[in-house]
Chains A and B, each alone.
Chain A
Amino acid sequence: MGKIVVEKLYKIFGPDPHKAMDMLREGYSKDAIMEKMRHGVGVADASFHVEQGEILVIMGLSGSGKSTLVRCINRLIEPTAGKIFVDGEDVTGLDKRGLRRFRQKHFGMVFQNFALLPHRTVLRNVEYGLEVQGVSVAVRRERSMQALEQVGLKGWEDSMPDQLSGGMQQRVGLARALALEADIMLMDEAFSALDPLIRRDMQDELLNLQEQVKKTIVFISHDLDEAIKLGDRIALMKDGRIVQQGTAEDILANPANDYVAKFVEDVDLAKVITAGAVMKKSETIAHLRTDGPKAALRKMQKAGISSVFVSDHGRVVGIVTARDCRKAADRGEKSLAPIVDRNIQKVLPDVQASELFAMLGGSKNYPVAVVNEDDHLLGVIVVGSLLAKLGETYQGENGGKAERQD
């Protein structure tokens, strides 16, 4: 049972939505219904669920109904038909009062155009949600300050929204939703109005925040790169229908139809491929406590490499090069400790390849260590292997495309 369950949801705009729904069920398309009876199909037969603590990205081009869909979840737009359950409670059955309470308790929302109150300070904006709930001044001030700190806006609480940049305004929007302590966040193209660099920062920050707060997030986006980065799962929409849902890998590997395939073509592969997929598995490692320079040299010679990572009680702590080992051995030193360079880069296997390029550009040309959560070495990445892997995948992708066109 998911945190949010949406079943056969329809939203049709026009005076006689049920007739339009019947036509949809008979197989008429969105365009045909527009032409025949001047009714707009917002959402058609959408069913999906979102698990507790998961980020579901609903993605589609403009006009695909994704913003309508997210507004149906908290009934900012009244669905024509279908059911929405949150924690098993039927949202569609709530009366006005019940709906207001439900929104207060469960839904934080972040908007594309920020939708801040221009006459209120940053702090008073963040307080808004708590204020309408009737929370006491002291409590809402404390919780709002905490939320502002979480989004990195401490010290800005007395500014007015129009004094802030777009990115900062959206942080206020984020803080406003966080301060509620609601368990669900609805984010409607939250980062689409920001310029690309700031957008990337905000995405990173959202992921960091999510590590701490573990909200259930429905994120609307038209950008597949963003969807892949943020989404635990992705639902693709077209003409009001959900055409495919699954993890990023599922969708990239097996596009359900041409529409999805077209979307997928544009993705920068460097963002999809992870460190884990690119790394060269490595068992070769020098042990700080037991190996001396000579032992380390022997290991390198055996593996045919010019540097080796050093571990201490199983945790990767640094790297030694063959050159330094030889010099130390010549000086007769017995320990690796003086020559270990602790200035190394470690990544988890799910880091995107695009981020690896920056790391590999360093002057010392050390490889990057891929480690698990316990800092155990899983593999290494060098520039050559990264490029090779990317090239290989691009080719595979192009081959696949050629087949589809035939």
Chain B
Amino acid sequence: MEFPKNIDIPLDRWVDHAMDWVLATFGGFFDTLGTAILYFMIYTEKFFLWLPWPVLVAGVGVLAWRVMGRWWSGLLMAAMLFFIGALGFWELGMMTLSLVAASVIISLAIGIPLGIAMASSDRFESVLKPILDGMQTMPSFVYLIPALMLFGLGKVPALFATIIYAVPPVIRLTNVGIREVSPSVIEAAHAFGSNYWQILFKVQLPLARPTIMVGINQTTMMALAMVVIASMIGAKGLGLEVLLAINRIEIGRGFEAGLCIVFMAIIIDRITYALASRKKS
């Protein structure tokens, strides 16, 4: 049986109207916000492009060696980064990396305070949790649409979509980390006359640190995944290479760019994961 044609909720038009209204009302705000974000991103990108490649390769090698504790891990990570350059993707790789870095920085600046707020209020948690679930289950392409409408084509909407996609883990894990701090330790802190901020900074955050670090690791990995997709709305970088290769059916080119993304993912994941699981000595 066919579904009656006269039942047709015009949600699409409502969303369009809502979007129009938002643009008409807050257009100026989003323009200003977009410009601010753009400058932040341009400077981040300039920094990564300015960074001499031997410095970055050596830096990543040493960092990986220090946090993972094995010299050959450091060597491997440095070799992977070198390989990206050797394939001719250094500049595009740096663009991708700068976009990841910018979106992670903003995600943490938003996510950690939200996670803290979520941990201190059950009501806020019950409101935010379904929203976060929604943000993570929604196909990532969907974020591109409002981002496009608010900021047009280019880097800024790419960053915006990336943040929305990548921010939930750090919010969630900050919340969980703080909530998991033993109540008896909190009680002791109260017994000695600590105030809210002292408990937060001297007890809860230090004890939640390993969990929050896992959140940062996940956020970073999701940001990298999203940055590749965000190339569809005009973020230059490795993702765009893959996209172009698909469109032109250039298998070899696509494979090279794809491999670079995989290497970058491995480098970022291993280093942030090692930072997360490192025990404070």
Contacts and interface: CB of A to CB of B under 8 A. Distances in A.
Interface string B154-198: 000000000000000000000000000010110111111111001
B184 A104 contact: no
Interface in A80-125: 100-104, 107, 109, 111, 113, 115-119
A118 B189 CA distance: 13
Nearest to A124: B202
Interface size class on chain B is 10 to 19
B203 A117 contact: yes
Given A128-B202, A131-B202, A132-B202, A111 B187 contact: yes
Nearest to B187: A76
Contacts of A133: 193
B123 interface: no
A104 B189 CA distance: 11
Given A115-B185, A119-B280, A128-B202, A109 B207 contact: no
Contact of B192 (A113, A116, A128): A128
A129 interface: yes
B192 A103 contact: yes
A129 B193 contact: yes
B202 A103 contact: no
Which of B185, B192, B202, B206 has the most chain A CB atoms closer than 10 A to its own CB? B192
Contacts of B202: 117, 128, 131-132
A176 B189 CA distance: 11
Interface in A179-203: 180, 186
A221 interface: no
Interface string A132-148: 11000000000000000
A367 B63 CA distance: 72
Nearest to A99: B193
A132 B190 CA distance: 10
Contacts of B191: 74, 76, 103, 107, 109, 186
B205 to A, nearest CB: 10
A376 B39 CA distance: 89
Contacts of A113: 184
Interface in B189-230: 189-195, 198, 202-203, 206-207, 209
Q: Chain A interface secondary structure, helix, strand, loop or mixed?
A: mixed
Contact of B207 (A102, A107, A118): A118
A100 B198 CA distance: 12
B192 A104 contact: yes
Nearest to A101: B193
Contact of B184 (A111, A128, A176): A111
A103 B193 contact: yes
Interface in A127-174: 128-129, 131-133
Contacts of A115: 182, 184-185, 187-188
Interface string A340-368: 00000000000000000000000000000
Contacts of B207: 117-119
A103 B195 CA distance: 11
A316 B188 CA distance: 48
B187 A132 contact: no
Contacts of B192: 103-104, 109, 128-129, 132, 176, 180
Contacts of B184: 111, 113, 115
A100 B209 CA distance: 26
B280 A132 contact: no
A76 to B, nearest CB: 6
B206 A132 contact: no
Given A103-B193, A119-B207, A132-B193, A109 B188 contact: yes
A180 B193 CA distance: 11
Contacts of A102: 193
A104 B193 contact: yes
Nearest to B203: A117
Contacts of A129: 192-193
A69 B188 CA distance: 16
Contacts of B190: 76, 103
A131 B189 CA distance: 11
A11 to B, nearest CB: 16
A214 to B, nearest CB: 21
B206 A119 contact: yes
Interface string B224-239: 0000000000000000
A118 B186 CA distance: 12
B195 A100 contact: yes
B194 A132 contact: yes
Contacts of A107: 191, 193
A160 B249 CA distance: 59
Contacts of A100: 193-195
B187 to A, nearest CB: 6
Contacts of A180: 192
Closest 9 A-B residue pairs measured CB to CB? A104-B193, A115-B188, A103-B193, A129-B192, A109-B191, A100-B193, A115-B184, A132-B194, A119-B206
Interface of A: 74, 76, 100-104, 107, 109, 111, 113, 115-119, 128-129, 131-133, 176, 180, 186
30 contacts: A76-B190, A100-B193, A100-B194, A100-B195, A101-B193, A103-B191, A103-B192, A104-B192, A109-B191, A109-B192, A111-B184, A113-B184, A115-B184, A115-B187, A116-B185, A116-B188, A117-B202, A119-B280, A128-B189, A128-B192, A128-B202, A129-B192, A131-B202, A132-B189, A132-B193, A132-B195, A132-B202, A133-B193, A180-B192, A186-B191
Given A100-B194, A129-B193, 11 more contacts: A76-B187, A100-B195, A102-B193, A104-B192, A111-B184, A115-B185, A116-B185, A117-B185, A117-B202, A118-B207, A180-B192
